[in-house]
Amino acid sequence: MSMFLLRWSLGVVLTLTLIPLAWGAVAAEPGTLDNNCFACHSDPAKLIPAIREVMGCAEAIPASGASEGEG
């Protein structure tokens, strides 16, 4: 009986420990899935070539001129 209780308790503890860990692996916590976003959006060396590819720019990306609102 005591062995059964011990195993049961161990099972509960493990379950309660593993569920948050498993959730953390799939949820978009910083440092996990979002790393894929940050990998580019926080690294100009990757971001600039990607933008060039999307924009079809072979060379430097031009910055457009100063703007002026109409208000």
Partner 1 sequence: MEQLAPHEKMFVDPAFAEDANHGSIGCHECHGGNPAEPDYLAAHNGVVRDPTFPDPGPVCGDCHPDIVEKSRASLHATLHPFTRMIDARSGSDSPEQHVIVDKTRQAHCGACHSSCGQCHVSRPTYVGGGLLNMHFFERNPPWREVCTACHGSRIEKEYLGENKGVPPDVHWRKRFFRCIKCHSGEEMHADASGAANRYQAPDAPKCIQCHASIYDDAAPSAEQHRMHKDKLSCQVCHAVSYKNCYDCHFALSRTGEKFFINKKSELDFKIGLNPLRSDARPERFAVLRHVPVDRNSFRYYADNALPHFDALPTWKYATPHNIQRRTPQNAACNGCHGNENLFLLESDVAPEDRIANKNVTVPLEMIPKRIEPGVSGRGAEQAKPSGGSQ
Pick between residue 6 and residue 25 the one whose CB is nearest to partner 1.
Answer: 25
In the complex, the residues that contact partner 1 under the rule CB under 8 A are 27-31, 33-34, 36-38, 40-42, 44, 47-48, 50-51, 54-55, 61-71
CB neighbours (10 Å) of residue 40? 15
CB of 43 to partner 1, least distance (A): 9
Pick between residue 4 and residue 70 the one whose CB is nearest to partner 1.
Answer: 70
CB of 49 to partner 1, least distance (A): 10
Give 16's DSSP letter.
H
CB of 45 to partner 1, least distance (A): 10
First-to-last alpha carbon distance for the chain, in angstroms, is: 80
CB neighbours (10 Å) of residue 48? 14
Q: What angle do CA 25, 31, 35 make, to 5 degrees?
A: 105
